[in-house]
Structure 1
Amino acid sequence: MINLRYLEVFHAIMRSGSITAAARSLHISQPAVSEMLKQAESRMKIQLFERTGGRLTPTPEAKALFPDVASVFGRLDAIDRQVQDLAGGRLGNLSLAAAFPIANGYLTKAVATFLATRPSVQVALQSLTSPQVAERVAYGEAELGLAYNFESLSKAVEAEVLVDSAIACVLPESHPLAKYDEIDLKDLAPYPIITYLPQAVLRGYVDRALADAGVAPVVAVQVSLSLTGIMMSYYGAGIALVEPFLLTSLTFPGLVARPLRPYISLKTLLIRPAGASRSLVANDFVEELKKTINESQELLVRSYGSSFAGE
């Protein structure tokens, strides 16, 4: 049987035209190349080159063999490039699931930035509720999930805190409360507010904080999405009590964000399947995501004040 090393020597000689050049390309000695060529001809029982005047001339048999050998090494080169792309996180598939405000905000920026240098990576992104995100990850339908912290997280997943943020007020800059750097929950009492529907995970955060402050709010609108609440505030329906990160991704002229006091802590989780191996693509993406989140937090602080730096 002919082995791959003999074919490699034959391929190098055919491409370079001499034993000396082939030895240089293979990083071995000239005598070693000559010896392997002799062994290859002996194994195959055909003469591959005629030696005339110190030069090698391919025989008809060598010319007939070369296209198939070149095809083999072309495939090996392709495999080598694929390995390098996989090792560098430039090739593969990435399946993501994220809660609606996250999917419509900094996550989309992180994905776009990530793909800019990895055109061969394919991303699938599902926008869901936080419990649905954890469910998709648990069932293996998403490799990474981003969701707000909620009770009864499945043991089939593992989670780490990715962002520690807060519910805030989003309101027109002409609103009487917009002049304050921070807004006390008690100051909301006389004004119509926009909050989440009762079944939304973030509604529980808002209701508990208002109850603890002794505030019976005037609920004007209930929404399922932070974006819808922000748009409602933009058109004057009331003060939106929402997670404010979307304001770093979308432009709403005339709207401002103000932290609430007491601070309504809101944790965003990065969710993975418990005990599962982690792809290089996913690991690289998480690094890009964390960088994007840091940039968004800094923009929020620059745009709306240092109180958004957290507790």
Structure 2
Amino acid sequence: MFDRQLEAFRAVMMTGGMTAGAEVLHVTQPAVSRLIRDLEYNLKIRLFERRGNQLSPTPEAVALLAEVERSYLGLEHVKAFAADLRSARAGSLRVAALPALALGFLPFLMARFRATRPGLAVQIDGIPSHLVLDRVAGGQFDFGFVAVPAERSSLVMAPMMAPIVAVVPTDRRLARLAEIRASDLAGEDVILLGRGSYQRHIIEVALAGISIRSTVETPLSAIACALASEGVGIALVEAYTARAFIGRGVVVLPFRPAIDAGFSIVTARQRALSQAARDFLDVVEVGSVDYLRPLMGAIRG
């Protein structure tokens, strides 16, 4: 009721009269008069001088209005912030991903997502997949992206396709082909990812029986692409990393047999996502198509 009394007081002060104040609040004039009397009684302060039909605010009322305005504007700010939270224009979004996605795709998608949400605080971290799993499960991040198959009862995994492509130095004979088959790599310098990685495993399966030359290994697909751009060899990596190296001394070609590197989007099973997190995940699929479009054009061309 006290809030209603202050609301009536503010309306009267802003309009200059009980009747006008009542019209602003869509109540009767006697109701506003009663609210003002109750406020004076509660505060033990005389707020208005009444001379016939004339109503004059006391100095105390003027001072009180300034304080009420500060509180009112603060409350309006809180209401506006809550509305922003509902529409995902404010709040925070914390995302963890393996470096292959954290270095290119996520910044691309986040820039577009945040353009209409300037008040949204964002944290993106690039860490190994096993740490992504641990930290999403532990609540440090809203969701994450990983590159390894995993089964945890506390997590929900949603698949995200990531085809393996060949990143070929432009001066290699294979750069003139329309696609790279496993058999084409016989005798070639192939840059492989570190032993024990999921991508290394599925690529080795595809290259079984093929005699390749491989004297360079690296744990990160971005380093493999950088090595290819310097002419060290041919890198077999997922398309999201290869996309950033188009026009940097390499051509990007489809690899056969087709291999899906198999990223997954990870969320905690028992923890509700914010509206911002839900909205972001809703645009991942469309965003991935847009992000890879230059790469698909390079492959077709």
Residue in structure 1 matched with residue 6 of structure 2 by the alignment: 7
CA separation of 1:196 and 1:78: change in aligned 2, threshold 3 A:
same
In 1: Cα distance, 2:200 partner to 2:63 partner: 74
Residue in structure 1 matched with residue 93 of structure 2 by the alignment: 94
Please tell me the root mean square deviation across aligned C-alpha atoms, in Å. 2.3
The answer to whether structure 1 residue 290 and structure 2 residue 289 are counterparts is no
In 1: Cα distance, 2:110 partner to 2:52 partner: 62
Q: Is the 8 A contact 1:227 1:246 kept in 2?
A: yes
Q: Is the 8 A contact 2:165 2:252 kept in 1?
A: yes
Residue in structure 1 matched with residue 260 of structure 2 by the alignment: 265
SS of match in other structure, 1:199? coil
In 2: Cα distance, 1:65 partner to 1:194 partner: 74
CA separation of 1:39 and 1:305: change in aligned 2, threshold 3 A:
same
Q: Describe the superposition over 1:181-218 as per-residue Cα deviations: whole angstroms up to 9, x where unpaired.
A: 2211111112111110103221111111112xx21321
Most deviating of 223-232 and 35-44? 35-44
Alignment of 1:14-29 (within 5 A): 14-29=13-28
Residue in structure 2 matched with residue 49 of structure 1 by the alignment: 48
- Quote how far apart the aligned CAs of 1:42 are: 5.0
Structure 1 counterpart of 2:296, from 292, 297, 301? 301
Larger strand percent: 1
Write the letter of the residue equivalent to 1:127: G
Q: Describe the superposition over 1:257-277 as per-residue Cα deviations: whole angstroms up to 9, x where unpaired.
A: 111111111222110112211
Q: Please list every run of 5 or more consecutive structure 2 residues that lacks an aligned counterpart in the other structure.
A: none
Residue in structure 2 matched with residue 309 of structure 1 by the alignment: none
Write the letter of the residue equivalent to 2:271: A
In 2: Cα distance, 1:29 partner to 1:215 partner: 89
Identity of aligned residues (%): 32
In 2: Cα distance, 1:178 partner to 1:70 partner: 70
Q: Is the 8 A contact 1:220 1:238 kept in 2?
A: no
In 2: Cα distance, 1:194 partner to 1:21 partner: 79
SS of match in other structure, 2:195? coil
Q: Describe the superposition over 1:265-290 as per-residue Cα deviations: whole angstroms up to 9, x where unpaired.
A: 12221101122111112112223433
In 2: Cα distance, 1:266 partner to 1:114 partner: 25
TM-score, normalised to structure 2, is 0.90
Q: Is the 8 A contact 1:166 1:266 kept in 2?
A: yes
TM-score, normalised to structure 1, is 0.87
Alignment of 1:76-95 (within 5 A): 76-95=75-94
Write the letter of the residue equivalent to 1:234: S
In 2: Cα distance, 1:92 partner to 1:223 partner: 38
- Quote how far apart the aligned CAs of 1:124 are: 2.0
Structure 2 counterpart of 1:192, from 182, 189, 192? 189
Structure 2 counterpart of 1:157, from 155, 158, 165? 155
Write the letter of the residue equivalent to 2:60: E
